[in-house]
Amino acid sequence: MDDVTGIGLQRHRLARRGFMMTSVMTGFSLATTTVEAQAIHTDTKGLVAGAAQIPVSDGHLPGYAARPDGAGPFPTILVIEEVFGVNAYLQDVCRRFAKLGYLAVAPEIYARIADLSKITNDDEIGRVIAQSRDSQIMSDLDATAAWATQHHGDPARLGVAGFCRGGRDVWLYAAHNPHLKAAVSWYGVLDGKTSAIQPQTALDVADKILCPLLGLYGSEDVFNPVPMIHQAEAKAKAAGKTVEIVIYPDTPHGFHADYRPSYREAAAKDSWRRALAWFKRYDVA
């Protein structure tokens, strides 16, 4: 195995034990109906960035990580994907954080089930998501945080950020990990079907979160009606939790994803500014 950096970031070849699919996506997700030119391109100058292998209970989980070139320890952000794999956009988000002094790492949380980069059918994507165990995702995020600690991350300054389905997982992880300092959910799906392996929605755990959470939503989000967003906020605040919800007017779901038609530049930039301020306010930065 080639170790590019000496700190656990690997060049292309990834362990396969225990997984059906292990590739880290290097291009845009084929699962996205319409892909446009990415609005933001973040280079690797001054960074250590590349594919990572994260030890988990049954093998090694592939992922992508970026950090400043230096010893650290650096404040750490776990970045949780949408449902399109750790694609070029997610990798760029990691580099954006790294340029600001963070170690950012995005694990491929669906790699055991399928390679989402090769799925183009929405129904097939849905079946993959339905097979994912929330308990496994929580465990994998714990393992990712542990990996970060061993690779120049500061365990005392740990945050989590996620988008869409990953934003939903942000709510769940904020109710799971007592060591988190802060969480940011971009249009995290609040409701939906439950099952034996996905027993709770984000709305269900809104009153159980263990760290301050910033929720960033659009008023025209078809997955998150505005009354439901306010319901989650009210439930968390009634339980004494620190939650701030921002709802951008005339803005759809996926407004931060700068490779899709849903991208809205003004909301994306403002939400990024708010996220950085949130992490700074609650001692992740």
Cα dihedral 75, 59, 110, 188, rounded to 10, equals: -30
CA quadruple 60, 13, 40, 163: dihedral, nearest 10: -20
Name the one residue in this structure whose structure tokens are 């973040």.
42
Backbone angles phi, psi at 87, to 5 degrees: -85, -170
Is residue 66 helix, strand or coil? strand
Strands (E), the chain: 9-10, 47-56, 59-68, 74-80, 103-107, 153-163, 182-186, 213-218, 243-248
Is 164 catalytic? The answer is yes
Rounded CA gap, 101 and 58, in Å?
32
Smallest Cα–Cα separation from 99: which of 181, 179, 40, 180? 40
What six digits make up the tokens of 233?
């906020």
Helices marked H in 53-164: 88-99, 122-131, 134-150
> Which residue among 151, 253, 256, 258 is the active-site one?
253
What is the widest separation between alpha-carbon atoms in the chain? 51
State the catalytic residue, choosing from 92, 169, 221, 258: 221
Query: Does residue 221 carry a catalytic annotation?
Result: yes
Q: Using alpha carbons only, what angle is made at residue 212 by residues 208 and 216, rounded to the nearest 5 degrees?
A: 100
CB-based contact 207:235 (threshold 8 Å): yes
Question: Whole-angstrom Cα distance, residue 91 to residue 88?
Answer: 5
Question: Which is catalytic among the residues 115, 152, 164, 176?
Answer: 164
CA-CA distance, 102 to 153, in Å (whole number)? Answer: 8
Residues belonging to the active site: 164, 221, 253
